[in-house]
Amino acid sequence: MNREALSSAIKKKAVESGFDACGIASAGKLDKEEAFLKTWLDNGLNASMKFMENHFEKRVNPQELVPGAKSIISVVHNYYPEKQQQSGVPKIARYAYGKDYHYVIKDKLKALLKYINDDLQPCSGRVFADSAPVLERAWAAKSGIGWIGKNTNLIVPNKGSYFFIGEIILDIELEYDSAIEDRCGSCTKCLQACPTNALVTPYRLDSNRCISFQTIENRAEIPEKFKGVFQDWVFGCDICQEVCPWNNFSKPTAESAYKPKEEFMNLSFDDWLNIDIEGYKRLFSGTAVERTKYPGLKRNLKFIKDSGQLK
């Protein structure tokens, strides 16, 4: 099978497996992104996420991560929920409503890699979904799936940004796609809407100020200066995506694993404040909310309650 036919067969299978788009890039070093990442780290914009400082060479060069790497197949998976949380209750970012995406995407990618190996061409590769030092948005953009918006998210044309990203890095040559142009134009809605000014310039996010970092990754106390500005977010934040005009195109996900539990959707404000460890496990085990652990979620709930934002 020639490279073109092989690449088409892989993309066809990716879509049949439930992915919403698939693109392919050559697994070379990311020079432009390397400089961007270095400045980002030098300026401390990773906050206390030390893991972002580790494995710098692997992060900018897939051949350091997967010896013999030749191609990167990127995929995206829609997680936009059919129903949103009711208003007036603490908010969870949409990506964490259902089953943890790491498992869902990796399982699908493993099956895709097996298909390539068994049915198309013998190869060796590894699958990733936010599970290793890979600049996932940069690879998805390089393979033409979308562009990186001023809010730093990957936006898929006419589909929006509520997509997870995953990839297979493998040792065979394929047909490569080209990046598409930036379609943000003169829009600055995300920069204006961010309540903590975390988007310090277009395309540059300061994690120290990002509600998503503060409510998910920060293991210390949330700085007092943020009291009253988190709106209702207690795990993650979707504000810079909610205001993005490209998300007017969002369609509900077809992936049943991302569907939220009924009990979660029906929690009243009092239910939220009274969540105990058993309730936490029942509601959130197997979801991305586990990342913050029970004490983290309680800290976040207390923080917005003490801010007087939700009464």
What are the residues binding ligand SF4 (CB under 6 A)? 149-151, 184, 187-190, 194, 196, 198-199, 205, 210-212, 237, 239-240, 243-246
- Nearest distance from residue 210's CB to ligand B12, in Å? 4
Q: How far apart are CA 53 and CA 49, in angstroms?
A: 8
Q: Does 226 bind ligand B12 (CB under 6 A)?
A: no
Q: How far apart are CA 91 and CA 293, in angstroms?
A: 16
Nearer to ligand B12 (CB atom), residue 6 or residue 198 = 198
Contacts of 127 (CB under 8 A, 6+ apart): 106, 109, 110, 112, 113, 166, 167, 168
Pick from 226, 234, 239: nearest CA to 307: 226
b or e along 146-170 (b: 16 or more beta carbons within 10 Å of the residue's beta carbon)?
bbbbbbbbbbbeebbbbbbbbbbbb
- Nearest distance from residue 234's CB to ligand SF4, in Å? 13
- Nearest distance from residue 35's CB to ligand B12, in Å? 7
H or E segment and range at residue 170: strand 163-170
Catalytic residue among 107, 130, 171, 182: 130
The CB-side HSE value for 3 (13 A sphere, CA atoms) comes to 12
The 229-268 contact track toward ligand B12, x by CB under 6 A, reads -------xxx-x----------------------------
Q: Does 205 bind ligand B12 (CB under 6 A)?
A: yes
SS3 260: coil
Catalytic residues, by residue number, are: 130
Binding site for ligand B12 (CB under 6 A): 32-33, 36-37, 40, 49, 52, 93, 95, 129-130, 134-138, 148, 151-154, 161, 163-165, 203, 205, 207, 210, 212-213, 216-217, 236-238, 240
